[in-house]
Amino acid sequence: MLLPVSRVVTRVAACRGSFLFRGFSSESSSESVKYTLPETSFKTYKCDPPPLEIEVKKNEALDMYKDMVLMRRMETTADNLYKMKLIRGFCHLCTGQEAVPVGMEAACTRDDAIITAYRCHGYTLMRGATVHQIFAELMGRSTGISYGKGGSMHMFAKSFYGGNGIVGAQVPVGAGIAFTQKYLGVKNATFIIYGDGAANQGQVFEAFNMAALWELPAIFVCENNFFGMGTSAARSSANPNYYTRGEYVPGIRVNGMDVLAVKHSCAWAKEWTFSGKGPMVMEMVTYRYGGHSMSDPGTTYRTREEVQHMRSTNDPITGLRTKILEWGFATENDLKQYEKEARAIVDEAAEKAKNDPYPKESELWTDIYVRGTEPDSIRGRECEEIGTVHKS
């Protein structure tokens, strides 16, 4: 049995004060279809798989489609802004992996917690940030979600604990968040996301142990996009079946390119933890179309033909789009209209962020040190050389 889903639709926040969606209104519809997921959707370890038969509601399908289209357009524009040197430093895009953050959010309430690594733009959007806040953060502007100080890797929102730059370091932190949930006696779960490259970190296994020992509502999610930077799983992992890595923690492998499978499995994993069975390890098999980061062309360890094959045969947006049309949830013109409006939302957000101010020098130490504890010097340089210290 799946838990009832309650969520704030990200697209509403994303377009607030900017654009309203025209054409069709998904919120007013109660239409649904019965659908059987492909048998290849799940593979489990030490547990029975969730049922393949699901109900897909029209409004949920359309919301997930819109969220993925908006996310794809946002990341494409971020790529362009980086090449224009308006975004600097590290920047990791989730193009191709949209089904995981969108499907996960569809199974969550706002009181469930999510923590991830540095490929975090999509999760930040789904947790309620606006496109403008994300672009402003990427460009180091004071209107950013982290006030221009976090950049691509350090974004936060309500019940979203980042955006963390140290590989694997978010996993034990996530276990701590799950411990808090159990300690407070709230019926919420924590989704702890890490990549296949981080899966070999010792702290990941330490977190498995503590979560199992204390039966925490921790759902460990390995986003397996086949490459840790440019290193394939076959070269880095003695056991590339990441959903079995918990050993004494049950696991499930999910087709992470199917947003319906992601949503269904995440709701099922929550029910698992809420029933007192302890943690769960999920492996979301997904694929990034771009390189690991902006400095990686993504073609030195795989071929262009491979990437194009994934785009043309297994794209998460195209897959859901085909189903929406087949089920009669929307027409071709409806979907084209939304895609046009998504582009307008993103373009307006980017232009607005370009003109936003940078953080003031007086705010250099704000949110870095507890007020009154700012050091007099940093690495041999007086604070006055770096900027005016804010001591109010």
Average pLDDT by stretches of 10, the chain with 392 residues: 35 38 42 97 98 98 98 97 95 94 98 97 98 98 96 96 95 99 98 95 98 99 84 85 97 98 99 97 93 69 82 95 98 97 98 97 81 78 58 44
Cβ pair 241, 44 in contact under 8 A: no
Backbone angles phi, psi at 43, to 5 degrees: -145, 130
User: In whole angstroms, what is the distance from residue 246 CA to residue 212 CA?
Assistant: 9
Distance of CA 55 to the CA centre of its chain: 24
Paired tokens of 308: 């194009």
DSSP state of 160: B
The CA-atom distances, in angstroms, between 90 and each of 25, 153, 245, 295, 296 are 38, 7, 30, 9, 11
pLDDT, position 387: 56
319-323 long-range contacts, CB within 8 A, separation 24+: 319/257, 319/258, 319/259, 320/61, 320/64, 320/65, 320/68, 320/259, 320/260, 321/65, 323/35, 323/56, 323/61, 323/260
Domains of the chain: 10-296+305-352 (3.40.50.970), 360-392 (no CATH)
pLDDT, position 254: 99
- Cα dihedral 8, 13, 14, 20 in deg (nearest 10): 110
Backbone angles phi, psi at 44, to 5 degrees: -115, 165
**3-state DSSP helix/strand/coil % of the chain, to nearest 5:** 45, 15, 45
Q: Quote the pTM value.
A: 0.89
pLDDT, position 8: 36
Question: Which is nearest to 94 in space by CA: 137, 129, 126, 62?
Answer: 126
User: In whole angstroms, what is the distance from residue 295 CA to residue 201 CA?
Assistant: 24
The angle subtended at Cα 156 by Cα 95 and Cα 124, nearest 5°, is 30
Give the DSSP per-residue string, 167-231: TTTHHHHHHHHHHHHHHHT-S--EEEEEETTGGG-HHHHHHHHHHHHTT--EEEEEEE-SEETTE
Question: Which is nearest to 173 in space by CA: 145, 211, 137, 119?
Answer: 211
